[in-house]
Amino acid sequence: MGGADWETRAKARAIRSECLKTTHAAQLGHLGADFSALETLIVLYDRVLRFPNGDLSHPDRDRFVLSKGHAALAYYAVLSRLRERPVANISEFAKFGSALSGHPSNTKVKGIETSTGPLGHGLPFGVGAALAAKLEGSSRRIFVLVGDGELQEGSNWEAAMLAGSRQLDNLLTIVDRNRLQQGRGTELVNRLEPLTEKWRAFGWSVREVDGHDPEQLFDVLTSIPFKSGMPSCVVAHTTKGRGVSFMEGKAAWHHKVPSLGELDLALAELAEG
Amino acid sequence: MELFDCRAAFAATLLEIASADPRACVVLNDSISSSSAAEFMSRFPERTFDVGIAEQNMVGVAAGLANAGYVPFVCAASCFLTGRALEQIKVDVAYSRANVKLCGFSSGVAYGALGPTHHAIEDIAWMRAIPGLQIVVPADPAETSSAIRYASTTAEPCFIRINRLPVPKIFRNAAALVPGKAQQVRDGDDVTLVGLGMMTHRLMEAAELLAADGLQARVLNLSWLNPVDVDAIVRCSIETGRIVTAEDHVLAGGLGGAVSEVVAREYPVPVLALGIPNTFAPTGSPDEILEHFELDAASMAKRVAAWLGVARTRRDKW
């Protein structure tokens, strides 16, 4: 295990604890989604996204969109650890008048490109941002993190079709493939498989990784475009609620708030590593 | 009376803006001809983004372009733009404060016999409910031009509702029009007729018919619905004591609603709201449909005269 890998894992443990405590305090959150997407968020911000001079508003920065906006708390936690600290105090989460809503808002937190929450909004925005980068001749890249259940929204496929048609090889979509949506398994509700074939049919180049393995994530996220002239898609196989044994793979933890007992149990488990 | 298609003014103005400002671009949903975007596309092909028949993606793409500093003009039939992409307009544009210009074409019943699926008679109500979205419904070519110019200079999201039914020129000088301000286009003290878009000139015709009956109607062109010109409405309430609104839109949440909200709050006087009642339109040409709903000049004059008679009686009783 490399040094960066170890750092990511340690950071992920710390952020999981922070998300647990914050969600319990706020009595609101989406821990299952936070934990599923967490390693992807950390690797992106620590090792992949380019911000010239560390400036989160630099015109030529890479763009990142958290289309699954309900993973906001994990996102805030990652942002709070950046040098520029666009999120100063995570305990403000969900409090009255706070910048840290349950879903991220670009007008309230620097570094967030667009407000998300309703599903199926991130990829169309990403396609527009990718078209803009091409038009300017900029080498910046556009990264969009979507949930797998979210792909049931038709707007994603409108955008996917255009990205393929326009050969947007500066665009990367990461699918957080935890196989669970709010109520049940994705395949029980409205089957997504064969998922990689779907993306390929829309003109994307697709790879699959373990979405909790920092090295695999780093390798794939720094290999774009996978094919010149094609948008790239990473299907990141993940576990909803990852890191806390009694939450893993349970749809109920999509937005369940832990009791005090569950909080203690989860924190103890994370402390053991 | 010579009539003009406001889309021509829109297209010409946008070409001028795009020639001077490399940030201006167009986003379409296979709507090149209905939005008069053909010339833009031939002159600025790299700044023309036709996403195909995909309105949600169209508005999301525009927000992404705006994020990079471009000023996208989304050009699509108002029925599809506002209905199909309503949540994108709310979240990607208004809530995210993206510098996107939403241009809704062929609004109202302009699509006539194509039927209620293609009519945009709810679009104003939907857009009015979205916080921070500026709304303008230009009445003639000069005002269309003025609205597009304003939209290109403000960083705020805007909805510009453009009809395809030809209208006469009302304003001679686009430069004299002040964004957000209503214009009194006919003087009179017996009643104020408030219109917007293609209804304003019909109200001016109705006012001439009323004048023949000895009633002097003032006509106010209230093209801006957000912000709404509160001062102008209050002044008309005070000076004429009665207000009539007319719109090619359902009665719920449109011009009549906007004016009534101000009148009830600031200076209550009787308001007669003319528009499309709680129903979908029958099959017919735009003019046939407008006549059916008594929104042609003659019908409106008749209704106003009748209402003023009633209103006078009521007032006498008070």
Task: Kindly report, residue by residue over B66-115, the tens digit of the pLDDT.
Answer: 999 999 999 999 999 999 999 999 999 999 999 999 999 999 999 999 99
Across the interface, do A123 and B60 touch by the CB < 8 Å criterion? yes
Window 158-177 of A: residues touching B by CB (8 A cutoff) are 158-159, 161-162
Name the average pLDDT for chain B: 96
Which residues of chain B are within 8 Å of residue A116 when distances are taken between CB atoms? Answer: 91
Residues in A closer than 8 angstroms to B80, CB to CB, are none
Contact B291, B270 (CB under 8 A): no
Walk me through the domains of chain B, giving residue ranges and CATH numbers.
6-162 (3.40.50.970), 180-317 (3.40.50.920)
Q: Model-level pTM?
A: 0.96
pLDDT in tens, B269-281: 999 999 999 999 9
- H or E element in which residue B254 lies: none
Question: Candidates 3.30.70.260, 3.40.50.970, 3.40.50.150, 1.10.287.3510; correct CATH number of A3-272?
Answer: 3.40.50.970
Q: What mean pLDDT do residues B127-134 have?
A: 98
- Does B70 lie at the interface with A, CB-CB under 8 angstroms? yes
Q: pLDDT per residue over A225-234, tens digit each?
A: 999 999 999 9
pLDDT average, residue stretch B204-224: 97
d(CA A23, CA A63): 27
Q: Are the CB atoms for A267 and A20 separated by under 8 Å? A: yes
- pLDDT at A262 exceeding the cut of 70: yes
Q: Answer yes or no: do A158 and B51 touch at CB < 8 A.
A: yes
- Flag whether pLDDT at B116 surpasses 80: yes
Predicted local confidence at residue B318, as pLDDT = 41
Confidence band (pLDDT; 50, 70, 90) for B312?
low
How far is B120 from B77, CA to CA, in rounded Å? 8
Q: How far is A229 from chain B (nearest CA, A)?
A: 17
Closest residue in chain B to residue A162, using alpha carbons only: B51
Q: Does position A94 have pLDDT exceeding 80, yes or no?
A: yes
- For residues A117 and A69, the answer to whether their CB atoms sit within 8 Å is yes
Residue contact A128–B56, C-beta within 8 A:
no
Domain spans in chain A, listed from the N-terminal domain onward: 3-272
Q: Does B68 touch chain A if contact means CB atoms closer than 8 Å?
A: yes
Q: Which of B229, B213, B219, B230 is nearest to B302 (CA)?
A: B213
Instruction: Give the mean model confidence (pLDDT) for residues B185-210.
Output: 98
Closest to B245 in 3D by CA, of B264, B131, B147: B264
